[in-house]
Amino acid sequence: MVKNTVQFTSVEHKAHFIKLREKYPQIEKASDYRAAAYIVALPDVFNHVGDPNQLEWLFSWCYDYETVKVGEHDEWDYSKDGSYYRRDFKNVDEHGDMITGGERFAGLSGGARRLVLAAMNLYNGAKGFDLEDGICSWDNRLFGVFLNACLLRKGGKIG
């Protein structure tokens, strides 16, 4: 039988999670946000995020991009203060899809980078996560964080 209650790895992990929950209240109700935030709150990761209040979205720190004001908008643009904006990503693949990059993401250890890619995949099915690669690179602690995030994504609770 699988235990569906997840614990934090440290007091610092819990404090970071609370900061993220204040910024993103949807964490309370949405298992995809909760699972992703559980990983991002891990001190190994969170210490590279910067001020969470300055983030446009939970993973914006993982990309090199600039926000550009546009006159007309399409489905990928967003509105703020009655104007429309789009993100121009500096690193895209051959299909034009954004790929991770930037100093803060690059500053993570290999295991932490793979864990963030797992968080992105648990959040919205983002490509780029390789389970076998993660399992081979994580120590027992990071593997435990991954398993807990999976439990949260399946509706588990933090307790």
Query: In this predicted model, what pLDDT tens digit does every residue of 33-82 receive, in sequence order?
Result: 999 999 999 999 999 998 988 887 898 888 776 666 777 666 555 566 66
Classify residue 113 by its DSSP letter.
H
**pLDDT on residue 86:** 65
Does residue 32 surpass a pLDDT of 70?
A: yes
Secondary structure element (H or E) that encloses residue 79, with its range: strand 78-80
Segment 126-153 shows an average pLDDT of 94
**pTM: predicted TM-score of the whole model, two decimal places:** 0.82
How remote is the C-alpha of 154 from its chain's centroid? 17
Contact between residue 33 and residue 26 where contact means Cβ atoms under 8 Å apart: yes
The set of residues, in sequence order, having a beta carbon less than 8 Å from that of 7 and lying 6+ positions away, is 148, 158, 159
What span, in angstroms and rounded, lies between the C-alpha atoms of 132 and 149? 17
CA 123 centroid distance within chain: 7
